[in-house]
Every structure is written in C-alpha cells, then in structure tokens.
Amino acid sequence: MSNTHTATAAGIRTSESYYLKEEHHPENGTMLGFWMYLMSDCLLFAMLFAAYGVLGRHYAAGPSGADLFDLKLVAVNTAFLLLSSITYGFAMLAMHSKRLGKTLFWLGITGIFGLAFLSLEIYEFVHLIHEGAGPQRSAFLTSFFALVGTHGLHVTFGTIWLVTLMFQLKKHGLVPENKRRMNCLSLFWHFLDVVWIGVFTFVYLMGTLV
Amino acid sequence: MSNHNHDAHAHHGDHDHHEDDTPHGSLYDYVVGFVLSVILTAIPFWLVMGKVIDDKTVLSLILLGIGAVQIVVHMVYFLHMSPKSQGGWNLMALIFTLVLVVITMAGSMWVMYHLHSNMMPMPVNMNSMP
C-alpha cells in the first residue's frame, strides 16, 4: 500500500517537474524581455509625441517651427543616424562571422556617427536657447525640447552602452554573453532610428509647414 | 548562461540551425533596408525643402504616409521583425503597443482639438447666450 503511495507520489512529482520544465521557457528570455522594454519605451515616446501633437502649434506669440528649424541640419543629422544604423548592421554581420576585429571596427564607426549626431543636436539646442527659444518660451518649445531631448538622451545612453560593450568585447571576445548584449543594443539602436523617423517627419518637416 | 542557448530549444526541437537563434539579417537585407530608407528619407525632405506641393494638408498626409512606410522598412530589415520571431510574442507585443500608441495619439489630438474648437474662439455674442 505504502509502496504504491510513494510510487504514485513519485510519479506525480516527476510529471510535475517535467511540466514545470516545459512551461519555464527560458529560450532567449532576455531578447523578449528587452523587446518588452522597448515597447514600454515606445509608449513613453508616444506620450511625448501626443504632447507635441497637442501643443506643437501653441507659440505664445513666439517663434514657430518655420522660423527656427534648419532643415539642412536635420537632414545631415538624419543621415548620421541612418548611417549609424547600417554600420551597426555591419557590426552584427561581422559578429555572426566571428570576426572580433571587424566587429569592433564597425562598432567604433557606429559610435562616431552617434557622437556626430549628438554634437549636432547639442549645437542646435544651444543655438535655439541662445536665440531666446528655450524650453520655457512657449508650449511648442517645451514639448519640442521634451521630445527631441528624450530621444537625444536615449542616443547618449546608447553610445555609452556601445563604448562599454566595445571594452567588454575587447576583454572577453565574442562569448555568448557579449553576443546577447550585441543583440540587445542592436534592437535599441535601430529602435532609436525608428523613433527619429517619427521625429523628423512629425516635428521638423511638418513643423515647418505653418 | 551559455547552456541556455543550447538546451532550451523547446519549440524547435533540433539543434542544427543557428548557434544563437535570434533572428539576424544578411548583408543583402541590411543594404536593401538602407537603400529603401535613404529613398524614403530623401523624398520627404525634398518635398518640404523644394516646396513641391502647395497644399499643406495633402503634403502632411504624404509625409506621414512615407514615414509610416519607412518605419515598416526599419522594422523588417533592421529589427528583423517577422510573425515567427520569438514564437510570435514579438509581433503580439508590437501590435498591442501600436494599439496603445494609436489610442494615445489619436485620442489626445481628438479630445484636445474638440476642447479648443469649443473654448478658444470665444464667440462675440457669448453674453447673449443663456
């Protein structure tokens, strides 16, 4: 009697642990989790876009987008970000073909494009504030600085992450952990480019059509 | 951690595909995506800077349309989205997020537009209203 008891108990336990193993599904959990983070980030940007959409025409008798935006500068900035996207792609391809030096080279180029983007954006912000078109001037400029500034902050942290990752790659090589980090940063970097599409279309190009 | 990549292919069952199974594109994918992005970026800048279209509403709609297409191009060629990635969870999360984004954006604009059109133009004969 007790024998059958323990037998069934053991049977249940093993089948339980079997099912638990199946349900616990750790395959690429990090990538899915990071994707979830990006989606929440997407919502953050949606709020800022919505704020800009509502407030973007409230100039408080101040300058409008048509007065302020220098589309040539924005076009150059867009080119920097787009180029950094494809050079990051080249870094990923180099990583998949297991060539550490090439990976580091393309990551470096990506970082340089990221820094070029940031310096142009900082130049633009400083220029605007110098002209008296700072974030406190009007609702339009508040929402503009909040949206574009948040994107710039993301690029800043992405660049810091990229440099950190270059050191990690140099130290440990193309180990699975670093590949995972590369994959996450790839999502992050391309996601920032997607957000920038929204920014240059909705803020800069449509903002000049007053 | 490295073990996970190898022994946890619960729904693939076989081990003979990629070493790490995150989707990644080929050089061809990246180049196609890049060329399409350059074209889809150049057109809106040209339309606005060259003052090609006079009608602002039409131009805005064209800009938004091209922007949407370019976002899809980036999603497919750079972010390697496909209905199959992560067993469909990536796409599910994306669709859910897009629904929330559309509700947020369209909802705020709609509500605030109505608020403005009801409040801002202060009718002259306001005092005569009941």
Instruction: Give the tens place of pLDDT for each residue, B84-100.
Output: 877 788 899 999 999 99
> Which of B37, B74, B105 shows the shortest C-beta gap to A53?
B105
pLDDT grade, residue B1 (50/70/90)? very low
- Which is nearest to B78 in space by CA: A206, A156, A104, A38? A38
Tokens describing residue B116 = 């403005």
Q: What 3-state DSSP class applies to B115?
A: helix
B93 touches A39 (CB < 8 A): yes
Please determine, for residue B14, whether its predicted confidence score (pLDDT) is greater than 80: no
Tokens describing residue B127 = 């005092």
- Rounded Cα distance, A131 and A157, in Å: 28
Residue B26, in any domain of the structure: yes
Asked if A101 is an interface residue toward chain B (Cβ–Cβ < 8 A), one would say no
Model confidence over B16-73: pLDDT tens digits?
344 455 667 789 999 999 999 999 999 999 999 998 888 889 999 999 999 999 999 9
What integer pLDDT is reported at residue A29 of this predicted model?
82
Instruction: Please give the interface size between A and B, counted as residue pairs whose CB atoms are below 8 Å apart.
Output: 138
Please determine, for residue B13, whether its predicted confidence score (pLDDT) is greater than 70: no
- Residues 161-200 of chain A whose Cβ lies under 8 A from any Cβ of chain B: 175-177, 179-180, 183, 187, 190-191, 193-194, 197-198, 200
Model confidence over A113-151: pLDDT tens digits?
999 999 999 999 999 999 999 999 999 999 999 999 999
- The answer on B27 and B1 residing in a single domain is yes
What integer pLDDT is reported at residue A25 of this predicted model?
53
Residue B104, in any domain of the structure: yes
Number of domains, chain B: 2
User: Which residue range(s) make up the domain with B115?
Assistant: 87-120
Please determine, for residue A35, whether its predicted confidence score (pLDDT) is greater than 80: yes
Query: Are B20 and A179 a contacting pair at CB < 8 A?
Result: yes
Model confidence over A176-192: pLDDT tens digits?
999 999 999 999 999 99
- The answer on B111 and B75 residing in a single domain is no
Q: In terms of C-beta density within 10 A (0-12 exposed, 13-18 middle, 19 or more buried), how is residue B118 classed?
A: exposed
Q: In terms of C-beta density within 10 A (0-12 exposed, 13-18 middle, 19 or more buried), how is residue B41 classed?
A: buried
Asked if B49 is an interface residue toward chain A (Cβ–Cβ < 8 A), one would say yes
Residue B63, in any domain of the structure: yes
CATH 1.20.120.80 fits A28-207, yes or no: yes
Please determine, for residue A163, whether its predicted confidence score (pLDDT) is greater than 90: yes
Query: Are A93 and B105 a contacting pair at CB < 8 A?
Result: no
- Rounded Cα distance, A207 and A140, in Å: 10
Nearest C-alpha of chain A: how many angstroms from B130?
31
| Whole-complex ipTM | 0.82
- Rounded Cα distance, A196 and A191, in Å: 9
What integer pLDDT is reported at residue A88 of this predicted model?
96
Q: What are phi and psi of B16, to 5 degrees?
A: -95, 15
Asked if B129 is an interface residue toward chain A (Cβ–Cβ < 8 A), one would say no
- The answer on B73 and B35 residing in a single domain is yes
Asked if B58 is an interface residue toward chain A (Cβ–Cβ < 8 A), one would say no
Model confidence over A60-108: pLDDT tens digits?
888 999 999 999 999 999 999 999 999 999 999 999 999 999 999 999 9
What integer pLDDT is reported at residue B6 of this predicted model?
42
- The answer on B92 and B75 residing in a single domain is no
Asked if A77 is an interface residue toward chain B (Cβ–Cβ < 8 A), one would say no
- The answer on B30 and B77 residing in a single domain is yes
Neighbours of A13 (CB within 10 A): 10
